[in-house]
């Protein structure tokens, strides 16, 4: 299961994470986001303990979207050791998403 990333927990859950973090910037009204959601949840289950998976609802946490320059959703961002390591915009197949962080494991 993925974690809700908020303005309040971004530092502790993402920047201070000891493992890579996959963040899905999404919104409930976004069709491609709805399609991608189950894939993100599947990845969260398969990589539990090795990759932290979180979601940012841009309607509720627009500040985080603004800080990351998100202009289109879904956008996936990988953080590793507190730094942005990769980014992909648009729905993508599971293997493409995994390839964003596989080299960090």
CATH 3.40.30.10 fits 3-84, yes or no: yes
Catalytic site residue 30?
A: yes
DSSP state of 5: P
Q: Do 56 and 24 touch, CB atoms closer than 8 A?
A: yes
The percent of residues above 70 in pLDDT, for the chain, comes to 100
Q: What is the CA angle 65-71-74, rounded to 5?
A: 75
Q: Where are the domains of the chain?
A: 3-84
DSSP state of 19: S
Residue 1 is predicted with a pLDDT of 73
Catalytic site residue 88?
A: no
Q: Which of 33, 64, 65, 78 is catalytic?
A: 33
pLDDT value at 43 more than 80 = yes
Q: Which of 5, 14, 23, 30 is catalytic?
A: 30
């Amino acid at each position: 299961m993925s974690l809700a990333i908020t303005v309040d927990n971004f530092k502790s859950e993402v920047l201070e994470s000891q493992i890579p973090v996959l963040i899905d910037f999404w919104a409930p009204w976004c069709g491609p986001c709805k399609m991608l959601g189950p894939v993100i949840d599947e990845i969260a289950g398969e990589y539990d303990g090795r990759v932290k998976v979180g979601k940012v609802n841009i309607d509720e946490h627009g500040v985080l979207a603004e800080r990351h320059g998100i202009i289109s959703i879904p956008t996936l961002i990988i953080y590793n050791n507190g730094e942005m390591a990769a980014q992909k915009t648009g729905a993508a197949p599971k293997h493409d998403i995994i390839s964003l962080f596989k080299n960090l494991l």
